Amino acid sequence: MKQINVGMVGYKFMGKAHSAAYRAIPMFFPQVTKPVMKLICGRDEAGVKQAAEQFGWEGYVSDWRELLKRDDIDLIDINAPSNAHKEIALAAAKAGKHIFCEKPLALNLADSREMLEAAEAAGIKHMIGFNYRFTPAVLLAKKLLDEGRLGQIYHFRAWFLQDWIVDPMFPLVWRLDKEIAGSGSHGDLGAHLIDLAHFLIGGMEEVIGMSETFIKERPIAESMTGLSAKGSADAPKGPVNVDDATLFLSRFTNGALGSFEATRFAPGHRCTNSFEINGSKGSVKFDFERMNELQVYFTDDAADVQGFRRVLATDPAHAYADAWWPPGHTIGYEQTFIHELVGMMECFGTDSQPVPNFVDGVKCQEVLEAVERSIDQRRWVKISEM
Ligand code: SOE
């Protein structure tokens, strides 16, 4: 297919990331269906008008229902806060529009299953925004695993550490409100780790977790958005009803053991999305703050040079490298969104679904909710219970 017309709901952080991706695709990936940036949607008319101009959209609307009425919109991109996902996705599927939805898919498992059913019944293409899968260094880890070069896998150890709410004066933005976000660091950061685990290692059998809300009350926010919002000491306070940190252990179906830590209380860690995998023939280590690199160790290296080696995933042998720059010329955060949306564009005009899609969103939500149940009931929870 030559082109797909996009209508996008949301214009803040993710809206900017997705807009940058739609703009870049025709330039760097001219072989895939071209996304046309038709309409952007947001409730604040002045804000969305400004975003439309700045990001390069043809126009804007302030009610997402307008997008569904338009025959010239093919794909609805949902990157509004999580509590808006379900209603928009169900209506978009009913209107026969393809859907790209940010993670986590919904506020809970039941809603995410409803979204998947609606998308399947409508026969549309659907994708979820687990963008870290599309980092070339992560794809190199996947390749080594698929080729058996790490042998039998024993451990998947993952941690996503941030520090933007360590200050008790940081206000109650929407990400700290259960009604809007579903959960705190668990659904925001843990969801990415769970998806990476599914992608790299496979399904989980059971989980057990623990979580904490360290700061129980915060100033009520003047504006509900922003990772760098400022709270005032004089402002009235409201309760924080989501987790600040959630940790859990898992047993994978292939016998590997997993450990996961998602926190917004790790001073100095801005976006440390990391994992380490240990297998019988070697190990790999990844840290998003050095996203172009994969640390690789093979047990059969000669004894005198054994050790982790740093592989820069920018050579022609690496995923997506040929679309970008010569070897050693690194890429960044925005490319993860470009690559994922290229994955969606590649599927138009074919019978295939993009991956990851709502099936992966539901699988992630099963684990998120199993961990929550295990915390509530202080026990191991089988994924098959969910
Ligand atoms: C904020 O915690 C955030 O932007 C997440 O919402 C993203 O999903 C993650 O990629 C980076 O951190």
The verdict on the CB of residue 271 being under 6 Å from ligand 1 is yes
Q: Tell how far the Cα of 293 is from the centroid of ligand 1, in angstroms.
A: 20
pLDDT tens sequence across 85-101: 999 999 999 999 999 99
Share of the chain above pLDDT 90, in %: 96
Atom of ligand 1 nearest to the CA of 131: 10
Q: Tell how far the Cα of 191 is from the centroid of ligand 1, in angstroms.
A: 10
Band of pLDDT at residue 224, cut at 50, 70 and 90: low
Q: Tell how far the Cα of 210 is from the centroid of ligand 1, in angstroms.
A: 21
> Do the beta carbons of residue 266 and residue 272 sit within 8 Å?
yes
> Do the beta carbons of residue 351 and residue 171 sit within 8 Å?
no
The verdict on the CB of residue 162 being under 6 Å from ligand 1 is yes
Atom of ligand 1 nearest to the CA of 103: 8
Atom of ligand 1 nearest to the CA of 164: 2
Q: Tell how far the Cα of 185 is from the centroid of ligand 1, in angstroms.
A: 9
Q: Does domain 133-353+364-377 have CATH number 3.30.360.10?
A: yes
> Do the beta carbons of residue 245 and residue 119 sit within 8 Å?
no
User: Which amino acid, 108?
Assistant: N
pLDDT tens sequence across 254-291: 999 999 999 999 999 999 999 999 999 999 999 999 99
Q: Tell how far the Cα of 187 is from the centroid of ligand 1, in angstroms.
A: 10
Band of pLDDT at residue 313, cut at 50, 70 and 90: very high
User: Which of 317, 373, 383, 50 has its CA nearest to residue 186?
Assistant: 373
CA 178 to chain centroid, in Å, comes to 18
Q: Tell how far the Cα of 152 is from the centroid of ligand 1, in angstroms.
A: 31
Predicted confidence (pLDDT) at residue 226 exceeds the cutoff of 80: no
> Tell me, what's the pLDDT at 130?
98
Predicted confidence (pLDDT) at residue 223 exceeds the cutoff of 80: no
For residue 251, what are the β-bridge partners? 206, 257
> Tell me, what's the pLDDT at 222?
74
The verdict on the CB of residue 235 being under 6 Å from ligand 1 is no
Determine the average pLDDT of the residues in 322-332: 98
Name the CATH superfamily, with its identifier, for domain 3-131. NAD(P)-binding Rossmann-like Domain (3.40.50.720)
User: Which of 9, 56, 15 has its CA nearest to residue 36?
Assistant: 56
Determine the average pLDDT of the residues in 320-346: 98
Predicted confidence (pLDDT) at residue 225 exceeds the cutoff of 80: no
> Tell me, what's the pLDDT at 34?
98
- pTM of the entire structure? 0.98
Spell out a b/e string for 108-136, using b for 16 or more CB atoms within 10 Å of the CB, else e: bbebbbbbbebbeebebbbbbbbbbbbbb
> Do the beta carbons of residue 85 and residue 119 sit within 8 Å?
no
pLDDT tens sequence across 187-213: 999 999 999 999 999 999 999 999 999
What is the C-alpha separation between 217 and 44, in angstroms, rounded? Answer: 28
> Tell me, what's the pLDDT at 355?
98
Q: Tell how far the Cα of 189 is from the centroid of ligand 1, in angstroms.
A: 6
User: Which of 10, 4, 106 has its CA nearest to residue 344?
Assistant: 4
The verdict on the CB of residue 188 being under 6 Å from ligand 1 is yes
The verdict on the CB of residue 244 being under 6 Å from ligand 1 is no
Q: What is the mean pLDDT of the chain?
A: 97
Q: Where exactly are the structural domains of the chain? A: 3-131, 133-353+364-377
Q: Which residue's CA lies nearest to atom 1 of ligand 1?
A: 188
What is the CB neighbour count within 10 angstroms for residue 325?
Answer: 11
Q: Which residue's CA lies nearest to atom 5 of ligand 1?
A: 188
> Do the beta carbons of residue 280 and residue 295 sit within 8 Å?
no
What is the C-alpha separation between 308 and 287, in angstroms, rounded? Answer: 14
> Do the beta carbons of residue 281 and residue 181 sit within 8 Å?
no
Q: Which of 18, 188, 228, 273 is the best mutation target for the ligand 1 pocket, counting ligand atoms within 8 Å of the beta carbon and taking the most?
A: 188
Determine the average pLDDT of the residues in 157-169: 97
pLDDT tens sequence across 113-128: 999 999 999 999 999 9
Rounded to the nearest 10 degrees, the angle between the axes of helix 333-347 and helix 13-28 is 60
> Tell me, what's the pLDDT at 3?
98
pLDDT tens sequence across 36-68: 999 999 999 999 999 999 999 999 999 999 999
Q: Sign of torsion, CA 25 28 33 37?
A: positive
